[in-house]
Structure formats: C-alpha cells, structure tokens
Amino acid sequence: MTAPLLQVDDLVVEYGRGRKAFRALHGVSLEIAPGECLGLVGESGSGKSTLGKAVLGLAPVASGSIHFDGEEITHAHGARRRALAADIQVVFQDPYGSLDPAMTIGDILAEPLTAAGVGRTEARGRVSEMLDRVRLPQTAADRYPSEFSGGQRQRIAIARALVRRPRLIVCDEPVSALDLTTQATIIDLFIDLQRDTGVSYLFVSHDLGVVRRICHRVAVMYRGELVETGDGEQVTRAPVHPYSERLRLASPVADPALQRQRRQDWLAIREVPGVVAPVR
C-alpha cells in the first residue's frame, strides 16, 4: 500500500484560552494518498475550513499531529513553514478578494517563484505554462484582475497555486462563489489538472453534488468531528450516518416531485444523534 501524503491524527483545534476557549475540532483523523482527492463536507461551522487552515499552519492546534510525506509539520513555522509552500498550496473561495488588484496577472503568478529565488527567464516560462494549463490566453499576463470574470479569476488563482508544482492543494470552497455553469467548467479543470500533474486535493465543500464529481473519497464533518468517511460515490448517494443523509437530502434536484419527496424525507430526520464513533 502507498504511504499517505497527508496524515492527520487526533487533531484538536481551539480558539481562545482557558474557560472561554472554543474547540473547533475534536480529535479529527484522516489521510490523503498521493494523487487522491478527499472531499471534506459539512454545513457552515462544522470545522471543515478549520481543518484546512490547520494543515496550512493557519489555525491553533491544541493537540494531535499533522504529517506530510512522513514528516511532522503540526507546529512548523518560520523557514520550515515557508519551505512547505513549495509542496502545500491553497485555492481560496473568493476569486475577487484573493488576487491583488494592483498587480498584473503575470506578476501575480511570478511572485511565488521570485520569492523562492527563481530567475526571471524561468519564471516567465513557468507563468506561460500555467496560463496554458488553466486555458487562459498568453495575453492575460499583461492584464489586471478587474478585467476578468469570476471564473477566469478562479483559473488564475488555481494557476498561482500550481506554479510551484505543489504535491497537495487545499481547495477551500473553490467553486461556491461561482454560477452553476462556471462551477462545472472549474471542476472539470481541477479533474484534468490532477490527471496531468498527480497533485492531491483536500477539497472543502458544502455541496455533495460537487464532491461527487471530483472526489475519490469523502469525509463528512459535524460539529467538529468526522462522522463518516468512505468512497465518494457511496457517501454521496447512500450514506450511513443520519447527518450525512440530511446533507444528501438537502441537495436540490431538478425534478419537482422528487424534490418534494426529498424535502419530506429531510424533515423526517428531525434530529441528528450525538456524534459517536465515526462510521468507516
């Protein structure tokens, strides 16, 4: 069996101190294999984005561990955390707020390379390669973010995440701010990029329909705990845990009769039982 690229063990994240501390994650454990896409789903406040931030070193880990390619990075900081940027990158939710409006697209894509000491000629070549990979014209390098649509800006954000050829990308709700048609094209792009580069994804989303299309496995979060993990098709179509089933039934469908039935079934599951041992 292939060793996991990312391994999270019994992770606890707390905000604040003492009696006022808020525990956002309660002993979460998961793994991502090389070249795998793991979907992390749950409603707002379930802790899924907090887990992504912990992997990136942006959330306060109280206990537990995070290993990347066999090396513990739980509390990596300074030079080591900066070095990890070559292997672990992120695509944020908002394609409008994640790009500097005062920089050209070429400068935005080249900045991670020049910060790492890459020469100008090589950086220009890598920028050109990334624009091709995300299906944008070479002329985009001389333009500014305000000249692009939301979907195009998200392509630019994906290119920036890929420009240093990372092994893992944390995708934090990367299509939720886009319309449905644009969502589909961006999901297809993620799938093609993973096939071509072998990059792994931790794909955070609240939409089971989205994760069904792209994710090999799915982990469901509820109130800071993992309640179910498994094959993406199985979890999104026939989940075991009641909360996972509520998420499935909350996803809209085009058939009005089926939608009414799903609504009735959703209402029938009035309470989610207390979180116990995860279903695997």
pLDDT value at 10 more than 80? yes
What is the side-by-side order of every strand in the sheet holding 22-32? 22-32, 6-15, 61-68, 71-72
Asked if residue 210 belongs to a domain, the reply is no
Q: Are strands 61-68 and 71-72 parallel, antiparallel or unpaired?
A: antiparallel
Q: Does some domain include residue 270?
A: no
Rg from Cα positions in the chain: 20
Identify whether 196 is part of a domain.
no
Q: How many domains does the chain have?
A: 1
Span 174-178, mean pLDDT? 89
Contact status, residue 4 vs residue 33, Cβ threshold 8 Å: yes
The pLDDT score that the predictor gives to residue 279 is 41
Tell me, yes or no, whether 66 lies in a domain. no
Q: Residue 45: inside a domain, yes or no?
A: no
Residue 39 burial (C-beta neighbours within 10 Å; 0-12, 13-18, 19+): buried
Contacts (Cβ under 8 Å, ≥6 apart) of 261: none
The model's pTM: 0.89
Model pLDDT, residue 227: 92
Would you say residue 147 lies in a domain?
yes
Residue-wise pLDDT tens digits, 77-112? 888 998 999 999 999 988 888 899 999 999 999 999
> 154-168, 202-216, 242-256: which has the minimum mean pLDDT?
242-256
pLDDT of residue 97: 87
Domain membership flag for residue 102: yes
Show the domain range for 153: 94-165
Q: How far apart are CA 50 and CA 38, in angstroms?
A: 15
Q: What is the 3 state secondary structure string of the chain? A: CCCCCEEEEEEEEEECCHHHCEEEEEEEEEEECCCCEEEEECCCCCCHHHHHHHHCCCCCEEEEEEEECCEECCCCCHHHHHHHCCCEEEECCCCCCCCCCCCCHHHHHHHHHHHCCCCHHHHHHHHHHHHHHCCCCHHHHHCCHHHCCHHHHHHHHHHHHHCCCCCEEEEECCCCCCCHHHHHHHHHHHHHHHHHHCCEEEEEECCHHHHHHHCCEEEEEECCEEEEEEEHHHHHHCCCCHHHHHHHHHCCCCCHHHHHHHHHHHHHCCCCCCCCCCEC
Instruction: State pLDDT tens for residues 228-261.
Output: 999 988 888 888 888 888 888 777 767 777 777 7
Q: Is residue 129 a part of any domain in this protein?
A: yes
Give pLDDT, residue 149. Answer: 94
- Alpha-carbon span 13 to 153, nearest angstrom: 32
Please give the mean pLDDT across all residues of the chain: 89
